[in-house]
Structure 1
Amino acid sequence: MDLDQQIQELIEQAPQDGVTPDAVRAIAPVLKLIAGQLKHPQYFVLQTLDGRWIMTTLSHRTQPNTQKNMFYAYADLKDATASPYAKDPQVVALPVAATHILFQMVAMTTVDSAIFFETSGNVNSGTEVLRSDVQNLIQAHLQQFKQGSRPPTDIA
């Protein structure tokens, strides 16, 4: 599924409350921009049977009080199921579209970042996407969008 199809699916699956589909449309360019920099259109994310994503808390090596909450997105099912977390029978690895991961990440207030393992067979090196970076890009885009939608002030 290409990025436009992923965005369309996000819009269709959004609550039809008169607000959320338009909000998804508004931030779609940012989701597509970031997802377009990733190597795969979908990744496998470890989840509990009730749909909660498996998070990892890492501590800074020299500052143990500094912690970061993250989740992993694997390029391939074999890498996901080889994770120590996948040994739990209550955990499954499910494919999730890249734009959906980014959209979900913004809504997850307890997550700081996601690590996308881009190369199958290599879980030692990944691409980190910070939640704050995604949020900042969305805010900047929405600010431009607002300014672009205002009528000119010099209308006579």
Structure 2
Amino acid sequence: MTLDQQLQALINDAPKDGSTPQLIESIAPVLSAIAQRLRHLQYYVVQTLNQDWVMLTLNHRTQGETEKNVVYAFPSLKDVASSPYDLSDPNLIALPVPVTHILFQMLAMDKDYSTIFFETPGNATIGTEVQRSELESLIHEYWQSQADAVSDANIPSDIA
């Protein structure tokens, strides 16, 4: 599924509540831009049987009291098998998730969360981190730029 198809699926599957499809459509360019920085169209995310994503708490290497919560996104199922997740637990499963869906789901997380996308199959030591707060900031910047463009377009040419 291409990025455009993923975004369209997000819009189509959104609750028909009068605002969610329009919200997704309004942030689609940001989700697409971030997804284009990543190498894969889908990643495997470890989930519970209830489809809750399993998060890990990481400690800072030099500042032991500093922690952050992350979701790992793997390029292949084989990479999940070599991850820190205990996949022998019958309540855990790794499922493929389209990259734009992962990014959209991040908006439901607390601001202190991140997703680490492992880009190279066979290498689960180096990944690309996308912080939830970064995603939110990029969306606000995009919305502001859109609002500025609209207000600039409404300025009459003979204003002087």
Task: Give 3-state SS (helix, strand or coil) of 2:156's partner.
Answer: coil
Task: Give 3-state SS (helix, strand or coil) of 1:87's partner.
Answer: coil
Select between 118-127 and 79-88 the one with higher mean Cα deviation: 79-88
Matches within 5 A, 1:129-144: 129-144=130-145
Structure 2, gaps ≥5 residues long? none
- C-alpha distance in 2 between matches for 1:69 and 1:103: 17
Work out whether residues 46 and 94 of structure 1, in 8 Å CA contact, stay in contact via their aligned partners in 2: yes
**Aligned-residue CA RMSD (Å):** 1.5
Work out whether residues 106 and 135 of structure 1, in 8 Å CA contact, stay in contact via their aligned partners in 2: yes
Count of matched residue pairs: 156
Describe the shift of the 1:84–1:62 C-alpha distance in structure 2 as closer, same or farther (beyond 3 A): closer
Match of 1:154 among 145, 153, 156: 156
The higher radius of gyration belongs to 2
Measured after TM superposition, the shift of residue 152 of structure 1 is: 1.8
- C-alpha distance in 2 between matches for 1:42 and 1:28: 17
* Percentage of identical aligned residues: 51
Select between 35-44 and 61-70 the one with higher mean Cα deviation: 61-70
Match of 1:48 in 2: 48
Give the partner amino acid of 1:98.
V
Structure 1 runs (4+) greater than 6 angstroms displaced: none
Matches within 5 A, 1:1-156: 1-85=1-85, 86-109=87-110, 111-150=112-151, 152-154=154-156
Measured after TM superposition, the shift of residue 98 of structure 1 is: 0.4
